[in-house]
Amino acid sequence: MGAVGRGTSVVKSGVKRLLGRAGFDIVRSTNNLGGVDDFLPFEATMRAARASGLSVGDHIDEVMNGTPGATQSTVDELRAVGVFAANPHTVLEIGPGSGRYLEKTLKECSPGRYEIYETAAPWADYLVDTFGVVAQPTAGSSLAPTPDGSIDLVQAHKVFNTVTFLCASRYFFEMARVTRPGGRIVFDVMTETCLDPAAVQAWATKGGAGHDSYPAAMPRRTCVDLFATLGCSLEASFLAPMGVASTEVLVFAKGA
């Protein structure tokens, strides 16, 4: 989900078909700065989730993305590698969208402050009202409203696979800046680990026409080396489903 203008034609067409069967129409929000609401319209998605009897996040996983339990499996992996062990007091999420990772993160820890950077106004308002998070003003790839070294856990899920290389890189510098010494940085990118010949063929033949930079590849070594220069070491990594293939979740720890 994302803070930075995300969406794919394959996702759009799938959502349109599914919502159409339920009697809903896709419409562009008139109260939106870009982002997840461009392809996941707030009102229609909320109605469809209620009709399915599922939470919004589980509805998106099961009905819209066709990968039941995908969000929970990622959170389970993060728990297993110790991301929540220190019970982070401050959390920041870039591009929470519908809040499917946010909701499950809150079940794993009890932060005193949870900041979000989300450009889709209806979704941001929903997350503030539902979960009591703090919506920060968004501008480009900046996390300027958040002070240096103030966050225990910084995360972004299904964001950096959908933006340009430089956009993602600018966020990386900001994520390292706001993370406190000893804190964690979690995000997923489509590395070469996710792009064997079969995966490339799947994206090329089954993944639809794509949308701008989506799906965007990011060299794994580039991430690891860049964060190393920012005082952050790679602690763990694992694959998570995305679209017709997968993405790689990277977990960094910032040195003291």
Do 28 and 110 fall within a single domain? no
Same domain, 15 and 126: no
Looking at the domain assignment, is residue 162 inside a domain? yes
Looking at 42, 64, 86, the residue that finishes a domain is 64
Distances (CA, A) of 236 to 77, 176, 177, 256: 10, 17, 20, 18
The per-residue pLDDT for 206 is 87
In sign, the C-alpha dihedral spanning 229, 233, 237, 240 is negative
HEC string of 40-71 equals CCHHHHHHHHHHHCCCHHHHHHHHHCCCCCHH
| One domain, residues 82 and 177 | yes
The whole-model pTM stands at 0.83
Domain-located, residue 175: yes
User: Is 233 part of a structural domain of the chain?
Assistant: yes
For the chain, first and last CA: distance in Å?
Answer: 31
* Whether residues 159 and 224 fall in one domain: yes
Residues 105, 231 within the same domain: yes
CATH number at residue 235: 3.40.50.150
Residues 31 and 104 in one domain: no
Token reading at 50:
């209620």
Q: Give the largest Cα separation in the chain, rounded.
A: 54
Facing residues of 49 across strands? none
Per-residue pLDDT, 207: 80
Q: Are residues 75 and 26 in the same domain?
A: no
Q: Are residues 150 and 74 in the same domain?
A: yes
Clarify whether residues 15 and 127 are in a common domain: no
- 223, 176: one domain: yes
Contacts of 92 (CB under 8 A, 6+ apart): 114, 115, 116, 117, 143, 146, 151, 153, 154, 155, 178
pLDDT along the chain (256 residues), means of 10: 43 41 35 51 88 86 79 97 97 96 96 96 96 96 98 97 94 98 98 96 83 85 98 98 93 96
Q: How many domains in the chain?
A: 2
Place of tokens 């993602």: 168
Spatial separation of the C-alpha atoms in residues 1 and 52, rounded to whole Å: 20
Residue 194 sits in the same domain as residue 245:
yes
Return the H-helix or E-strand segment holding 75: helix 70-80
Domain that holds residue 84: 70-254
Together in a domain, 182 and 238 = yes
In this prediction, residue 14 carries a pLDDT of 43
In the prediction, which pLDDT does 37 show? Answer: 52
- Residue 4 placed within a domain: no
3 falls within a domain: no
Query: 212 in a domain, yes or no?
Result: yes
Question: What pLDDT sits at residue 139?
Answer: 93
